[in-house]
Amino acid sequence: MDIIVEKLNYIWPFLAVITPVVFFHELGHYLVARANRVSVEVFSIGFGPELFGINDRHGTRWKFSLLPLGGYVKFVGDANAASTTPAETVEEMSPEESAKCFHNKSVGQRSAVAVAGPVANFILAIAIFAVLFATVGQQFTPAIVGAVLEDSAADEAGLVAGDEFIRINGQEITRFEDIQATVQMNLGDTLDIVVLRDGSEVALQAAPRMVAAQDTFGNQTERPQLGISVPGVAFTKHDPGTAIWQAVKQTVYVITASGKAVGQMIAGSRSTSDLGGPIRIAVMSSQVAAGGIAGLAFFLAVISISLGLINLVPIPVLDGGHLLFNFFEALMGRPLKPQIQNIGQTVGLVLIIALMVWVTGKDILGLAS
């Protein structure tokens, strides 16, 4: 019984995070497709055999499938769930049916449908952040040094307790969380810091030191550390307008930080230990859920952004792959040859499968250790 309870403690938080993220992603595709008069055959949460579902008055089958690791929207005229190629039956359709076929729509319309999924993920994140910032509050700790760790990068740079951060690398600092984010994204690079001390601005330079750390899966990694702390963490509730604006800023920050982190991984300056798959999401969801619904909601928003970004990668079978093919079609005035598209889709599928196997294997090894 204890084992069953333990497994459920992983399963329900994972489903609570992944289901709404996938649903809103596919809903974005669905709504924009319907706005462009594209008929939708299937709206599925999950892959594989259907568990249960219903048909709506437009003929769309809304269903939950066995493997809750994603979802898809299948349009009329699609040869497969990825909407990569038209079915052979498209040429046999009546004019009325053909007009509702996804593959017979313009490049602009198909591109709008493709990008709608990731955009829906970003909108979901903004909505979640806004609600949290208006109800629970946004972590908004004053950017004032409470203590300086001895022999740390901050100590070497000359920072002292009471210093108030104003700018780092020319960027305005309004809260302690801004300092943390900047340090984490610069991986030990020298930072140009301006603080307010006794009413005057003081310019300093500090190079955060890489210190050993261990992630949730026991992986040894390194994290940049400046070596300062604050007396405590504070939260500030915002009015609806400010909450929405701060939510937009938070979403933009997560997008840019994620992009920069991936670039650093490709360049080899950042460890890939932060990459993970469904197992990592399940474990982290369980840990976050133990801290309360607000933390789980925040994590859901971050995962929603991540799903949106991943789908914008220009790999065939992803939304970014559709946009890439559409770009070449618009550039050349005609679609790419079916053979080229098929090769691209095969390569894309192999890349996605290889990535999933790699991150899943890495997560399993991390748990085993």
pTM of the model: 0.83
Report d(CA 69, CA 254) in Å as an integer: 22
Q: Which of 156-165, 209-218, 262-271 has the lowest mean pLDDT?
A: 209-218
Cα separation, 301 vs 52, in Å, equals 27
pLDDT in tens, 335-364: 888 888 888 888 888 888 888 887 777 777
Long-range contacts of residues 215-220, Cβ cutoff 8 Å, at least 24 apart: 215/273, 215/274, 215/366, 216/280, 216/283, 216/284, 216/287, 216/366, 217/276, 217/280, 217/283, 217/362, 217/363, 217/366, 217/367, 217/369, 218/366, 218/367, 218/369, 219/273, 219/366, 220/273
Task: Specify the pLDDT at position 125.
Answer: 97
Confidence (pLDDT) at 128: 97
Percent of the chain with pLDDT over 90: 49
- pLDDT the model gives residue 287: 83
For residues 89-117, give the mean pLDDT: 85
Beta strands, E only, the chain: 40-55, 61-75, 138-139, 147-148, 164-168, 171-172, 191-197, 200-206, 209-214, 220-225, 228-229, 235-236
pLDDT classification of 73: cutoffs 50, 70, 90: very high
Give yes or no for residue 291 having a pLDDT over 90: no
CB 77 within 8 A of CB 101: yes
Q: What is the mean pLDDT of residues 28-57?
A: 94
pLDDT of residue 6: 56
Active-site residues: which are they? 26
CA distance 35 to 191: 49
Structure tokens at 249: 């800023």
What does the pLDDT average to over 310-329? 90
- Give per-residue pLDDT as tens, 104-150: 899 999 999 999 999 999 999 999 999 999 999 998 888 999 999 99
Give me the domains of the chain, ranges plus CATH numbers: 1-12+105-138+238-369 (no CATH), 37-102 (no CATH), 141-233 (2.30.42.10)
209 three-state secondary structure: strand
Mean pLDDT of all residues belonging to the chain: 86
**Residue-wise pLDDT tens digits, 221-260:** 778 889 998 877 788 899 999 999 999 999 999 999 888 8
pLDDT beyond 80 at 158 = yes
Could you tell me which residues are beta bridge partners of residue 220?
214
Tokens of 296: 């789980």
